[in-house]
Amino acid sequence: MNDQGEWVVGKSQIVFRNPHIEVREETVTVPGTQHPRPWTVVGRKKAVVVAPMTAEGRFVLIHQARIPIRKWLWEFPAGQVDETRNPSLDLLRQTAIRELAEEAGYELGQNGELTYLGHYFPSQGFTDEENHLFLAKPVRKNGAGSKPDHAESISEDREFSLDELRTMIAESTIQDANTLVTFAKLVAGGLI
């Protein structure tokens, strides 16, 4: 099949919308095909994931309740970009710094750097969600503590060594896709 060409949207109707998602029923002709296909698409705002690393090489994770799966998960801080659906890299960086403070109570330390690692699509079969990944190092406690937003349930933040993090991933203690993908990017990029 030829994947070159134009994606043609014949129909797009919003069937549900709230501040977090937009559900659209669409008819789309895929490049290289002639027949339109019906599809349900969940639109979401762009998001950031930040892997916070201390000067000692420890990673900060939060323990967060995830209502759809009825579980508490260990994960890197993450959050949606509120201001626009097409954020600049600068706005993505600001969002990463905000989420680091809000969810974990950490900030960039002296001479701290926020390194952009790229982006990925976490569930491309039904949503256009796009998550942008960052490494923040070194980080330190901000003194004010975390201030999760009213919709978040975060029980704690904790620092883990690289070996502890590897073990948690190998033993499926960490089940959050954002954290798994960010860790893979860090390893593949030779950053850890």
- pLDDT tens column, 132-186: 999 999 999 987 766 766 666 788 899 999 999 999 999 999 999 999 999 999 9
Cα 95 from Cα 93, distance rounded (Å): 5
**Count of the separate structural domains present in the chain:** 2
Length of the chain in residues, anyone? 192
Q: What is the CATH number of the domain that holds 108?
A: 3.90.79.10
Q: Please give the average per-residue pLDDT across 12-19, as a whole number.
A: 94
Query: Cα–Cα distance between 170 and 156 in angstroms, integer?
Result: 22
Structure tokens at 179: 């954290």
pLDDT surpasses 90 at 33:
no
Which pLDDT score, from 0 to 100, does residue 148 have?
A: 65
CA nearest to 188, candidates 175, 180, 109? 180
pLDDT in tens, 78-128: 999 987 778 899 999 999 999 999 999 999 999 999 999 999 999 999 999
* Domain assignment of residue 2, yes or no: no
| Structural domain that includes position 92 | 47-188
Written as one letter, the residue type at 80 is: Q
Q: Is 1 within a domain? A: no
Nearest-Å Rg of the Cα atoms of the chain is: 19
Q: Are 2 and 28 in contact (CB under 8 A)?
A: no
Q: pLDDT tier at 6 (50, 70, 90 boundaries)?
A: confident
Largest distance between two CA atoms of the chain:
59
**Same structural domain, 13 and 76:** no
The pLDDT value given to residue 1: 56
Indicate if 124 and 177 belong to the same structural domain: yes
Which of helix, strand or coil describes residue 161? coil
- Give the whole-angstrom CA distance, residue 6 versus residue 161: 47
